[in-house]
Structure 1
Amino acid sequence: MGFSLFLQILLLLFSQCKAQWCYQSQYCDDTCKDPSRWATQFPSCGGLRQSPINIVTSKVHINSALPPFNFIGHTDIINITVENKGHSAHFALPQSVRLTGGALPGTYRAAQFHFHWGGNGRPGSEHTIDGERFPMELHIVHIKEPYGSLAEAEHDMAGIALLAFLFEETTEDHPHLDNVIAALGQVQNNGSSTVIPNFRLSDVIPVAKDLHSYYRYVGSMTTPGCEQAVAWTVFHRTLSISSGQLNAIVKQCRFWTGLPMTDIFRPTQPLDGRVVYCSKSGTAQKSVIHLRFSVFSVILATMTLMH
């Protein structure tokens, strides 16, 4: 490689770093903002309602106003597009996939789902439970109707509903993750995309009757600009993944910098006075209070006081 070409590549990488945010694992130039410095470029990332968090089970508040969810379109057979976004891979979902219930104030349309993982045997979930980080985490992003985009929804305190599932390592393969892993292998580079045919979201997540137990808190998106408009639901029910599948999934994609896409999770953020609620069906959790009114009335009032 000629020196001039080498210099051009370095200058291109430098200019990208100035305009981009990074995960710590990317080892980008000093001008690229890792999670500890996101707030210098994206002010909302320094707010008081940031995600993810560490959930301390002895301090959650059991709330009988957290009912089950209604999943719409989760069993439909669909074709979904997968795209490498440079920091993670997004699996686009059609608007026919919807969500109601769960004390959410309205109907929410699915937008996409994505995963957060570690690398080389390191755990990579974003949320932690009593300080424990899990091997991987799935996020399903929903937008409140009638908003047409995340940009519109972020101006509503509950404009975005995010469902989070933590993975636990098992001896047996998850029966439906191999097609997901294969798709990731086809979108190795930033901007590349592929299609998964005949996909059903219910093949990846449990049926609704097994998802009555969950944590709820108000927070933010976990990537810049860290919009503080998210009603978070972290389910007690974990998903399975074998060590072989976990090792495979972290080797498929590359960051926009060309480096392996590993350790794609934001560190946990301070709770800053927020309350983490637990649905009544999570009876194994320690109760400190039983509320008689809607959890969202409490949540929105708390958020108002924080402004």
Structure 2
Amino acid sequence: MRDDDVQVVRTGEWCYEGQSRETKCEGPSEWKNLFPKCGGLNQSPINIITSKVEHDPNLTGLIFDGHEDVFNTTVENHGQSVKYNNMLCFHPAHFTLPQSVRLRGGGLSATYKAVQFHLHWGQDGGQGSEHSVDGKHYPMELHIVHIKEKYNNLSVALNDSTGVGALGFFFEVSSEKNKKLDRIIEALGKVRHEGNSSELEDFRLADIVPQANTLSYYRYSGSLTTPDCDQSVVWTVFHQTLPISKNQLTSMYKQLLFRTEKPMIGIFRPVQNLNGRVVYTSVKSHILCVLPNLITLFLCLFCVFGQQKCFH
């Protein structure tokens, strides 16, 4: 067998767009050829069009349990998505979470226990988030993944159409350094190559995520954003962004390598079609209006009295 034949067989797997230009792997537009679920009608991520979201009064305040708890977490670099110990690892690098971290309330049908969290980023401050809002992408997005507490692992939870509860937080570049992210960045630097793992000690989710009672959010039904793209995810995407400095972003991009030893950049799936799905919000339309200037004030008044939806 020729060397290039070996490569074709070996790379008969999914990858991100940037990787597909350099290797013979299947980029996002081709995932459905290998994983039929990726061609489904309820795929994620999506572009949230704020003029079309609907307020749902059932979307009350979320409750985060265990976010204040101190624990040790393991960060691993798999170089690509793999399965181990009957647990699906659907992101090249992730941090494990104890099951004492829970998610409930907020119109969810059950209590969910944490599995892991991971980050999606781009390159040089460009698009890095998977979701977008009115076409705007952010440089990085945090996903915290949970499964219903009655299930033993993620693979089983994926058989339930609402078996997975995922939280999405956008990061926005700030002039000030977010010191609480330094430990995350440092931990990623210790797992640069495929197969590396490291321990992050005395960590709290509350160090990087705000308190639940301060957060408003969007809600929709979707999927995993990597193969097999199972459509079993209740997505909660938050309005409030988290800060990260430009230097911290640059450090993040330089930390990890794919199994090909290429920089782990551009690790996001493009947005998918809504296909008739409705995106809901926990906040009434006029509350989402902000008033930085007179023009915005006029628009907000127009929204309220004209019964139109206004978002910022």
Is 1:192 aligned with 2:185? no
- Decide whether the 8 Å contact of 1:17 with 1:28 is kept in 2: no
Find the counterpart in structure 1 of residue 177 from structure 2: 173
SS at the partner of 1:132? coil
TM-score (norm 1): 0.87
Report the Cα distance in structure 1 between the residues aligned to 2:146 and 2:284, rounded to whole angstroms: 23
Structure 1 residues 180 and 142 mapped into 2: Cα distance closer, same or farther (>3 Å)?
same
1:146-185 equivalent positions in 2, closer than 5 A: 146-185=150-189
Match of 2:74 among 81, 91, 97: 81
Is 1:113 aligned with 2:117? yes
Report the Cα distance in structure 2 between the residues aligned to 1:150 and 1:289, rounded to whole angstroms: 40
Find the counterpart in structure 1 of residue 47 from structure 2: 54
Find the counterpart in structure 2 of residue 293 from structure 1: none
SS at the partner of 1:40? helix
Q: What letter is aligned with 1:48? A: L
1:237-256 equivalent positions in 2, closer than 5 A: 237-256=240-259
Match of 2:32 among 31, 39, 49: 39
1:294-305 equivalent positions in 2, closer than 5 A: none
Q: What letter is aligned with 2:56? A: N
Report the Cα distance in structure 2 between the residues aligned to 1:281 and 1:83, rounded to whole angstroms: 40
Report the Cα distance in structure 2 between the residues aligned to 1:78 and 1:15, rounded to whole angstroms: 41
Find the counterpart in structure 2 of residue 15 from structure 1: 9
Report the Cα distance in structure 1 between the residues aligned to 2:8 and 2:79, rounded to whole angstroms: 16
Is 1:274 aligned with 2:268? no
Match of 2:227 among 224, 234, 244: 224
Structure 1 residues 275 and 199 mapped into 2: Cα distance closer, same or farther (>3 Å)?
same
Report the Cα distance in structure 1 between the residues aligned to 2:34 and 2:178, rounded to whole angstroms: 39
Q: What letter is aligned with 2:54? A: H
* C-alpha RMSD over aligned residues: 2.1
Report the Cα distance in structure 1 between the residues aligned to 2:284 and 2:104, rounded to whole angstroms: 18
Find the counterpart in structure 2 of residue 122 from structure 1: 126
SS at the partner of 1:120? coil
TM-score (norm 2): 0.86
* 1:34 Cα offset (Å): 0.4
Q: What letter is aligned with 1:16? A: R
* 1:123 Cα offset (Å): 2.1
Which blocks of at least 5 consecutive residues in structure 1 are unaligned? 1-6, 291-307
Find the counterpart in structure 1 of residue 60 from structure 2: 67
* 1:11 Cα offset (Å): 6.2
Structure 1 residues 255 and 265 mapped into 2: Cα distance closer, same or farther (>3 Å)?
same
Find the counterpart in structure 1 of residue 206 from structure 2: 202
Structure 1 residues 37 and 76 mapped into 2: Cα distance closer, same or farther (>3 Å)?
same
* 1:30 Cα offset (Å): 6.3
Q: What letter is aligned with 2:28? A: P
Q: Which moved more, 1:169-178 or 1:24-33?
A: 24-33
Aligned identity (percent) is 51
Structure 1 residues 11 and 193 mapped into 2: Cα distance closer, same or farther (>3 Å)?
farther
Q: 4+ residue runs of structure 1 moved beyond 6 angstroms?
A: 285-290
Q: Deviations over 1:23-60 (max 9, x none)?
A: 01114666411000000000000000000000000100
- Decide whether the 8 Å contact of 1:26 with 1:257 is kept in 2: no
* Structure number with higher relative contact order (C-alpha < 8 Å, ≥ 6 residues apart): 1
Q: Which moved more, 1:33-42 or 1:147-156?
A: 147-156
